[in-house]
Structure 1
Amino acid sequence: MDYLYYLFVVFGFLAVVLFLEGVYLAWNAASGPEAKRIARRLQAMSAGGATTQSSTLAKQRLLAKTPAMERLLLRIPRIHHLDRLLLQSGLELHVAGFIGISLLMALGGALFAIFLGLSILVSVAITIGLGIIPWFYVVNAKRKRMDTIEQQLPDALDLMARAMLAGHAFPSALQMVGEEMPQPVAGEFHIVFDEINYGISIQDALTNLATRIPSTDLRYFVISVLIQRETGGNLAELLGNISALIRARLKLLGTVRVLSAEGVLSAKILTALPFVLAFAINALNPGFLKQLWTDPMGIKLVGVALGLMVLGVFWMWRVIKIRI
């Protein structure tokens, strides 16, 4: 009897383990890292904007997960610009999800303003401010991703040049970059390799790459490859020269950023100083600044001051923004 009990326990343990293993394998096949990576590559295939007939071989990137929402979003003018922004940011987010998050944050801001009993002008400002936070987040994610790609691009071009010097073809060099380089540049070059394998021409695949990545350095690479395919020449040497040029530009850009760091810090301090000072004054003497939002003239003065601050921030941003 004891042996049957122990045997039952052992089989029960094995059944639980096998059940958990089956659940894990099913989840990994549907939503695991490899499945997500393949889905991202397939969805990003045609987001570059190629219009040739061969581009229909690639899977179309969806704006929403439901057909009804997809048809509704397609009626919005220039909705694909937002979709391209989300693609360039590298975020796993559809247009419908982004719009939903923005609307939820705006609704939360409106309910919060109504709960506090604020004025209509302040309520609208809070609603709009919270509603555009996701857009700023996506733009910031795109900027960081583009900066990372520009930093990785010289190494990717050097790898392609060495591969071609070793006798590999251009598509094989693209595949090597996609397999050996870190993300996100590896994923972008692997998409180009997959598009070429699916029958899209090299010109269209590289054009899609330049559209997905709005980088001047990458466009130099694309234009150079396309010209070389028309006129001939040593592509490996050309890629090496472009890589050296990009490294020199990044070095000069780093020097400029160091020299302009003082101006950037001054701009941030001057932008935050009025708000910090107003908060400190209000904390020390709560009734001192009350006239600014209770009196109509005070509200107008605050509006004028905020408008001048926005103009000053834009002016300082243009002064310290230097393109190399």
Structure 2
Amino acid sequence: MDRQIIVVALIGVAVAGLMYAFVYPYLSGDIKAQKRQAALVGGPSDRAANTRVGDPAKRRKAIADSLKEVEDRNKKQRVTLEQSIAQAGLTWSKTAFLAGSVGFGLLVGFLVFVVNGDMLVALGAAAVGIFGLPNWMLSFLRKRRIMKFVDEFPGAIEVIIRGVKAGLPVADCFRIIASEGQEPVRSEFRRIVESQAIGLSLGEAVDRFTERVPVAEVSFFSIVINIQQKSGGNLSETLSNLSGVLRDRKKMKGKVQAMSSEAKASAGIIGSLPFLVGGAVFFTTPSYMMILFTTTIGKIIIGVCLLWMAMGVFIMRKMINFDM
């Protein structure tokens, strides 16, 4: 009987893998992104011509198109564990994180074994504790820090614009942000200032900035600073256009979140309803539900239902999350 459960679980994992390989690119928008990139071939010359034109609207559109290209390129880059830890704002080393994950997983597995007494279930819980929860928490902290940085970054650019217009050097503007800015922008600009203090040029320091915060806004900011350092130009005007585009993107993101809030609430209710109903039936008539936990066919039914529920929640999540 236990072998049948293991076989069914392996079949479920195989089906999930096939779904991830063949269906996920269409749900996540990777296919659409590839089509957009193919359509953008040959477009840089047109955008350069628009940039040379004195129309601010065309310059802003060119910046927005460049940001989209850089954002698509950043999404394809593979992030290492060391980079994820640094981007999450943690000071741990890779060895410390792995050791903590293993220790946490063993603790979870031991507690589950004490409560349940089943070695197979304890091993599954230990695997989740080692590979699942720590990586999920690290990803959560990384995304939260990056989102907070993107929200605060336009304000830092405004400080640079005002400082340049007042006649201050760019490096002095960076020092102002490093001392008076909001986190995590302040700590990132402090690293730029410290990099310059040990002998790196401004362009090299900003290039390292893009490695620590891999978002399109920072990549384009690095390009603008490097071009200004090498060939000169009106830095305040270019940064003003960039700041306007970033604020417009933030407004559009807020509108999309407001418009999709109803769909997200509906998806949350639909996803939690089977568990709520099952829990209510279990507490009112336990004998009606215990057959699912005491028989082999009942356990198989629970596993299949959980698999289909996970697939449904995954599909709903992709339907209500809009790519900006």
Normalising by structure 1, we get a TM-score of 0.70
Which residue of structure 2 aligns with residue 123 of structure 1? 122
Q: Residue type of the partner of 2:227?
A: I
- The answer to whether the 8 A contact 2:109-2:124 is kept is no
* Distance in 2 of aligned mates of 1:122 and 1:266: 33
Higher relative contact order structure (alpha carbons within 8 Å, sequence separation ≥ 6): 2
Q: Residue type of the partner of 2:103?
A: L
The percent identity for this pair of structures is 27
Aligned length: 246
Moved more, 199-208 or 163-172: 199-208
Q: What are the equivalent positions in structure 2 for 1:298-317 lying under 5 Å apart?
A: 298-317=298-317
Which residue of structure 1 aligns with residue 274 of structure 2? 274
Which residue of structure 2 aligns with residue 108 of structure 1? 107
Shift in Å at residue 100 of structure 1? 2.7
Q: What are the equivalent positions in structure 2 for 1:54-69 lying under 5 Å apart?
A: none
Q: Residue type of the partner of 1:82?
A: L
SS of aligned partner of 2:138: helix
Shift in Å at residue 255 of structure 1? 0.4
- The answer to whether the 8 A contact 2:113-2:121 is kept is no
Which residue of structure 2 aligns with residue 88 of structure 1? 87
Shift in Å at residue 259 of structure 1? 0.4
Q: Residue type of the partner of 2:206?
A: L
* Distance in 2 of aligned mates of 1:230 and 1:252: 34
Shift in Å at residue 254 of structure 1? 0.2
Over residues 111-151 of structure 1, what are the superposed CA-to-partner deviations in whole Å (9 max), with x where a residue is unaligned? 12222335455333322333322222221111111111111
Over residues 6-59 of structure 1, what are the superposed CA-to-partner deviations in whole Å (9 max), with x where a residue is unaligned? xxxxxxxxxxxxxxxxxxxxxxxxxxxxxxxxxxxxxxxxxxxxxxxxxxxxxx
Over residues 165-210 of structure 1, what are the superposed CA-to-partner deviations in whole Å (9 max), with x where a residue is unaligned? 1112121111111111111101101111211221123332112111
Where do 5+ consecutive residues of structure 1 fail to align? 1-79
Evaluate the alpha carbon distance shift between residue 155 and residue 235 of structure 1 in structure 2; reply closer, same or farther with a 3 A threshold: same
Q: What are the equivalent positions in structure 2 for 1:35-184 lying under 5 Å apart?
A: 81-131=80-130, 132-184=132-184
* Distance in 1 of aligned mates of 2:275 and 2:120: 19
Q: What are the equivalent positions in structure 2 for 1:3-18 lying under 5 Å apart?
A: none
Moved more, 180-189 or 90-99: 90-99
Q: Residue type of the partner of 1:86?
A: I
Over residues 206-251 of structure 1, what are the superposed CA-to-partner deviations in whole Å (9 max), with x where a residue is unaligned? 1211111122212221122223334431011111111111011100
Where do 5+ consecutive residues of structure 2 fail to align? 1-78
* Distance in 2 of aligned mates of 1:200 and 1:103: 38
* Distance in 1 of aligned mates of 2:206 and 2:187: 14
* Distance in 2 of aligned mates of 1:101 and 1:273: 35
SS of aligned partner of 2:236: helix
Q: Residue type of the partner of 1:219?
A: S
CA RMSD of aligned residues (A): 2.0
Shift in Å at residue 156 of structure 1? 0.2
SS of aligned partner of 2:214: coil
Normalising by structure 2, we get a TM-score of 0.70
Shift in Å at residue 160 of structure 1? 0.6
SS of aligned partner of 1:233: coil
